Homo-oligomer: A and B are copies of this chain.
Amino acid sequence: MGTPLPRDPIADAQRNWERHGWGDVAAPMAAITAIMRTQQILLARIETVLKPFGLTFARYELLALLSFARSGALPMNKASALLQVHPTSVTNAVDRLEKAALVARSPHPTDGRTTLIELTPEGRTLAKKATAALNAEVFGNSGFGPDDVDHLIRVLGTFRRDAGDFTEE
């Protein structure tokens, strides 16, 4: 989107909230808005790195997930649950990955309702390359210090647990 602004728009919003008598929720509003914007920035960086591989983040996440499965295959519903996205989003991603010959659909051996997503050799190779690129260019240069990283993992982990993402830990 363009040139840097002279002032932080989220800090401005927080001041506006306070000015209108919503001081008690101005700070959480600012924190939440900052999370939204940070996500947008990070996603843009990731997509930029993945583009040369012909991948989007959604497709990469699926490839990476499969690459960690023992057999290199997962039922669609498992993938949907682990990636925490709607089943139709997985269908969409698999459609495109399959068209690119990076994954293949195969019927579940015992449950006729279930479809397995299987990594092809090309898919596995690409996942490895893409992961190396992301590690080098995004995760290795996140812009967060080690203490901030630990704090984010802890605070957001608690938040996600309280939100019902998972139970353990």
Q: Which residues of A pack against B, CB within 8 Å?
A: 1-11, 13-14, 16, 22, 24-25, 27-32, 34-43, 64, 68, 80-86, 131, 134-135, 138-140, 142-144, 146, 148-153, 155-157, 159-169
Contact = CB atoms under 8 A, between A and B. Distances in A.
A114 to B, nearest CB: 16
Report copies per complex.
2
B42 A166 contact: no
A138 B1 contact: no
A161 to B, nearest CB: 7
B148 A155 contact: yes
A138 B17 CA distance: 14
Given A9-B82, A35-B152, A36-B39, 19 more contacts: A1-B81, A4-B167, A5-B167, A6-B166, A7-B166, A8-B161, A8-B169, A9-B83, A9-B165, A27-B149, A27-B153, A28-B144, A32-B42, A34-B153, A35-B156, A37-B165, A38-B160, A143-B163, A151-B155
